[in-house]
């Protein structure tokens, strides 16, 4: 008869080797993590992590739905809808919020589904999430989707640099055609003279590009306006990117632009919650068809380079330099889109002017 062996814990293994790591090394690991939600979970692991997570320099916050509020979540519960008109309704929502917050703090709802009981009442704003981080230097905020609606098959991408106002913006648009998906039946793009075809003015092509420009500038200025509380509450910020999960647009601010943002009052638009768009000069370049690497083509390829009228620096200093502006345009996109930009930069330039709005 075999005797039953008892298993005993090795006393040597009871000691947590992770505790031997210095705080500087743990912070280096946490900085590589970046994701705001994951960092939040790490802060609940131990007292040590709870003290180190707020010191992280690199943070990425992904937003499930758009939330914009200057105050606390208790003062604006469902931020995507108008404020309640009935005070009793508002008090009832406050009670629901308190109960939901209690369940959330206990680790979930009583049904054990692992999801918030009332998602609309428990969704924090980016500013509220970032209040847990006191030493953020590089921040990326990702919206759930792009702001500008386009028809199926239309490619529209934009990148913008802001200080207290617009400094640079580049827009790339066209209709993306996949040669491989069509079985290679499409003929190669025909050669053109490099000039704008007459049909561009008569079939609504120019009007469509103007709509793209206005829509992208409104999207960028709205995102810029939403950053007020984040920039104000985090003086350690050196780099800030507000992008979207679709990759449609991205607003970028470096250390110089962030300082300009803090030191000057924003010019808000009188009609909506966005920064006023200044009067701009626009350089338009166009190609009826542009072959791209990887077996695709961009029909009606359009590149719009936008700068404020005047010195174009937006008060940030140094951005009126032509080489820096060209570097911004050429580095705005990656892969085939970068190739498209470089090819369009060789095309004839058409100058447009736009009033501020």
User: Are 308 and 354 contacting, i.e. CB atoms less than 8 angstroms apart?
Assistant: no
Of all residues in the chain, the percent with pLDDT exceeding 90 is 49
Which has more pLDDT, 81 or 343? 343
Q: Burial of 237 by CB count in 10 Å (0-12 exposed, 13-18 middle, 19+ buried)?
A: buried
pLDDT of residue 135: 92
d(CA 349, CA 285) in angstroms, rounded, equals 5
Q: What is the pLDDT of residues 70-115, one digit of tens each?
A: 444 333 333 334 444 454 454 455 544 554 444 444 444 444 444 4
pLDDT recorded at residue 280: 96
- Residue 151, C-beta contacts closer than 8 angstroms, at least 6 positions apart: none
**Cα 292 to Cα 177: distance, rounded to the nearest angstrom:** 10
Specify whether the CB–CB gap between 356 and 275 falls below 8 A: no
Higher pLDDT among residues 171 and 90, named by residue: 171
| pLDDT of 65 strictly over 80 | no
Q: Where are the alpha helices (DSSP H) in 34-179?
A: 36-43, 47-52, 87-105, 119-122, 126-130
Q: What is the pLDDT of residue 288?
A: 93
* pLDDT recorded at residue 3: 60
- Cα separation, 114 vs 110, whole angstroms: 9
What pLDDT was estimated at residue 59? 94
Q: Report the pLDDT value the prediction gives residue 198, as an integer from 0 to 100.
A: 82
> β-strand 138-143 against 239-244: which pairing, if any?
parallel
303-326 tens-digit pLDDT: 999 999 985 444 444 445 678 888
């Amino acid at each position: 008869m075999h005797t039953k062996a008892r298993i005993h814990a090795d006393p040597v293994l009871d000691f947590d080797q992770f505790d031997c790591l210095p705080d500087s090394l743990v912070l280096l690991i946490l900085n590589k993590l970046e994701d705001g939600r994951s960092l939040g979970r790490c802060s609940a692991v131990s007292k040590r992590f709870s003290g180190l997570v707020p010191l992280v320099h690199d943070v990425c916050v992904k937003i499930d739905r758009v939330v914009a509020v200057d105050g606390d979540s208790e003062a604006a519960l469902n931020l995507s809808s108008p404020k309640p008109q009935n005070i009793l309704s508002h008090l009832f929502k406050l009670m629901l919020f308190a109960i939901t917050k209690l369940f959330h703090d206990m680790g979930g709802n009583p049904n054990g589904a692992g999801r918030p009981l009332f998602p609309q009442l428990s969704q924090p704003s980016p500013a509220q999430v970032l209040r847990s981080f006191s030493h953020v230097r590089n921040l990326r905020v990702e919206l759930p989707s792009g702001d500008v609606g386009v028809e199926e098959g239309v490619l529209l991408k934009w990148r913008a640099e802001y200080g207290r106002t617009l400094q640079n913006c580049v827009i790339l648009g066209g209709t993306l055609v996949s040669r491989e998906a069509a079985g290679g039946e499409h003929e190669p793009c025909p050669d053109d003279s490099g000039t704008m075809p007459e049909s561009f003015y008569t079939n609504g092509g120019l009007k469509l590009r103007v709509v793209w420009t206005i829509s992208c500038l409104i999207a960028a200025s709205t995102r810029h306006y939403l950053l007020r509380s984040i920039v104000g509450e985090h003086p350690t910020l050196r780099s800030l990117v507000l992008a979207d999960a679709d990759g449609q647009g991205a607003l970028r601010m470096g250390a110089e632009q962030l300082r300009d943002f803090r030191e000057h009052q924003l010019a808000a638009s009188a009609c909506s919650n966005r920064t006023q768009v200044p009067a701009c000069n626009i350089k338009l370049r166009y190609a009826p068809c542009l072959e791209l690497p990887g077996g695709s083509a961009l029909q009606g390829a359009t590149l719009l380079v936008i700068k404020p009228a005047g010195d174009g620096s937006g008060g940030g200093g140094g951005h009126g330099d032509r080489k820096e502006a060209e570097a911004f345009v050429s580095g705005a996109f990656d892969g085939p889109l970068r190739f498209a930009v470089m090819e369009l930069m060789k095309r004839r330039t058409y100058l447009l002017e736009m009033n501020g709005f």
